[in-house]
Amino acid sequence: MVIDDRLELMSRGELVVTGRLIDASNATLYATVGDGDKSMACIYKPIAGERPLWDFHDGSLAHREYAAYLVSSAMGFDLVPLTILRQGPFGEGMVQEWIDIDESVDLAAFFSLDLAPLRTMALFDAIINNTDRKIGHLLPTKSGKLYGCDHGVTFHREDKLRTVLWQWSGDRLTDSEIELIKKTLAVLSTTLDLSPYLHSEEITALHQRLERLIETALMPVPSTDWPPIPWPAF
């Protein structure tokens, strides 16, 4: 199936829950979506199963996951698996394509390597202000592709970057990275409307983060005002 077929199937197919990821703090359900002889595995996170957080608006995590997918796609990163918002057995929620990871990869060693896909993920997290990039949220595949998951606590209006990917801290951005950031800022100012999914002050903060990255031309450094690494790290 090409991507348009997957999007059509995920959007219109019958969503059937078959299990639950018990380690997740919010309701994270393993499901299949099917139509006739076509089917695909996915993760379904109903808004009704979101646990309230003191620093994020209630019922907003699914929308943040979708906004992260839209920004990843707009930047051409393709770091976030195919993601949509739709109705399911437990109400509206986020539905995301399931990624089969390469289980031969030792994530405990992999996350700290100096690899281009990991650096791209680190830059993406700086842009979306990811407050929870754990090692287990990295999804390397057998084809060599890297995806990331669990982007519900992103786009906060305050700088709250918390990640395990600090190996490029303070490094200069490349010319191509700066041009990509400029392009993303232009797209956000013209064609990509995130207002259905984020609050206006969060969108303003997103623009400001992009502008700051262009101005400094540096990868972010860990903050001294809050723990810069999520706990648990995995």
Backbone angles phi, psi at 31, to 5 degrees: -145, 170
Angle between helices 175-190 and 200-216 (to 10 degrees): 150
Report how many helices (DSSP H) and strands (DSSP E) the chain contains, helices first.
Answer: 6, 7
Q: 3-state secondary structure string, 187-210?
A: HHHHCCCCCCCCCHHHHHHHHHHH
pLDDT tens over the chain, length 234 residues: 444 689 999 999 999 999 988 777 788 999 999 998 899 999 999 999 999 888 898 999 999 999 999 999 999 999 999 999 999 999 999 999 999 999 999 999 999 999 999 999 999 999 999 999 999 999 999 999 999 999 999 999 999 999 999 999 999 999 999 999 999 999 999 999 999 999 999 999 999 999 999 999 999 999 888 889 999 999
How far, in whole angstroms, is CA 26 from its chain's centroid?
16
Query: Which pLDDT does position 225 carry in this prediction?
Result: 85
Residue keyed to tokens 């997290």? 125
* DSSP of 30-93: EEEEEETTEEEEEEEEEGGGPPP-TTS-TT-HHHHHHHHHHHHHHHT---S--EEEEEETTEEE
The radius of gyration computed from the CA coordinates of the chain, to the nearest angstrom, equals 17
- Rounded Cα distance between 19 and 114, Å, is 35
H or E element in which residue 15 lies: strand 14-20
